[in-house]
Amino acid sequence: SNNAVLADPLNEVQRISDELTSKCGVPAPPRSVTLEDVEKFVDPNLQHNKKENDEKAAKLPVIATYNDGKCVVHDFESDTKEGTPTAAREQKLYGQAMRIYCDFESGKAYEDDYQWPQLD
């Protein structure tokens, strides 16, 4: 995940590279990934507004938690008129998207028997 890459860029990029080779059959790179390689592509400074957005979201109500409370889903601000079918669909799809996000964060979405939600 993006969070894992930002927390430990070199090891996370190496893990991704290793899994592409071992699980997906992608040929191994000709050399190991170096910190210099990673720093060319991973720039934490490009995460502008993340802190502000996280602080803003934290002020909104919690609508769900997953993964033993490790993944907290806050409500969101919408321009859609409340009480309309469009707002209900937007809320439902947001909930499904956040569930999938949390499942990716925990690794559940990578399991062979993962059940993807039906989007309707």
d(CA 10, CA 14): 6
Gap between the terminal Cα atoms of the chain: 26
pLDDT of residue 42: 80
Say how far apart CA 30 and CA 21 lie, in whole Å: 12
Angle at 73 between CA 118 and CA 3, to 5 degrees: 95
Task: In whole angstroms, give the CA distance from residue 17 to residue 30.
Answer: 11
Q: What is the pLDDT of residues 92-101, one digit of tens each?
A: 999 999 999 9
Give the confidence band of 51 by pLDDT, cuts at 50, 70, 90.
low
Strand, helix or coil for residue 9: helix
Q: Which two tokens stand for residue 115?
A: 């059940």
- Unique residue bearing structure tokens 């993944």: 71
- Burial grade of 25 (CB within 10 A; 0-12, 13-18, 19 or more): exposed
The model scores a pTM over 0.75: no
Give residue 14's Cα distance to chain centre. 19
pLDDT at 53 over 70: no
Instruction: Answer with the residue of higher pLDDT: 40 or 113.
Output: 113
Residue 44's contacts (CB-CB under 8 Å, 6 or more residues apart) are 6
